[in-house]
Amino acid sequence: MVVRRPLIAGNWKMNFDHLRAVAFVQKVAWVLKDAKFSASEVEVSVFPPFTDIRSVQTLIESDGLSFAFGAQDLSQFDDGPHTGDISGEFLKKLNCRYVIIGHSERRQDHHEDDEVVAAKTKAALKHGIVPVICVGETSADLEEFGASAVPVGQLRAAIAGIPGDAEIVVAYEPVWAIGSGQAATPQQAQTVCAALRAVIAEVMSQEVADATRILYGGSVKSGNIASFMREKDVDGALVGGASLDAEEFAKIVQFPKHVIA
């Protein structure tokens, strides 16, 4: 049986400048050290805004903190006349392990469609960065197509044509659950995450599907994380709002200690 190391990822979105970013990471590190948290049990990653990454990298590497870090987006291009965009090559030089791709806020604010998401996924892999591919349905999609159809279609489009043995992470984030305080139920998350794993098995291989972490995101907090993590196909969380509070984020990371009533 494959054991997937859970991944708790904090997507800061457009919050924290580089000074606050450093103070925040230090605080989470202190809280987790006090709690004798073991990174071998759970992988923790933060996703700061571009302008913070160098500072976060320097802190994590110089203090030997056991956090991974990544970017919230990348360009599908390597270089050239693309004002405002950031290449995967630059992110790799900052040692980014991950990059979030296709977050619903980017699909909405920047009109990123499945084609762009697929191109960005390929760009990340080309530069040796693990893509965290976000998929999820709106409440209108949910009503019209049910829970799985839209995220499954989005994932199929994103991974078409990538190397069959690529390391990817998938995040199922129902749009209606993001920032709403209304998380999906663990059963809803499990159903969709299982459907997403089946797509990976079909398009890539059963072996890759078994090894791939599939995260749930959308109003995750310390009070509900353990119930999601109990589900067989949920391997972690992509946390937005609750990842901006050091104590709360540290509590989420320590979900294996939670007792579920």
**Which chain residues interact with ligand 13P by CB under 6 A?**
11, 103, 173, 178-179, 217-220, 238-242
Nearer to ligand 13P, 45 or 87 (CB): 45
Total length of the chain: 261
User: Distance between CA atoms of 91 and 53, rounded to whole angstroms?
Assistant: 9
CB of 30 to ligand 13P, least distance (A): 23
Q: How far is the CB of 45 from ligand 13P (least distance, A)?
A: 12
Nearer to ligand 13P, 204 or 254 (CB): 254
**Active-site entry in 43, 105, 137, 173:** 173
Residue 164 burial (C-beta neighbours within 10 Å; 0-12, 13-18, 19+): exposed
Q: Please, which residues have CB within 8 angstroms of residue 198's CB and are 6 or more apart in sequence? A: 209
Q: Which of 43, 103, 112, 137 is catalytic?
A: 103
Q: Which residue is nearest to ligand 13P (CB)?
A: 240
Helix (H) or strand (E) holding 138: none
CA atoms within 13 A on the CB side of 57: 16
Q: Which is nearer to ligand 13P, 105 or 231 (CB)?
A: 105
103 given a catalytic annotation: yes
Active site includes 105?
A: no
Contact 183, 219 (CB under 8 A): yes
Please report how close the Cβ of residue 173 comes to ligand 13P at its closest, in angstroms: 5
User: So which residues are the catalytic ones?
Assistant: 103, 173
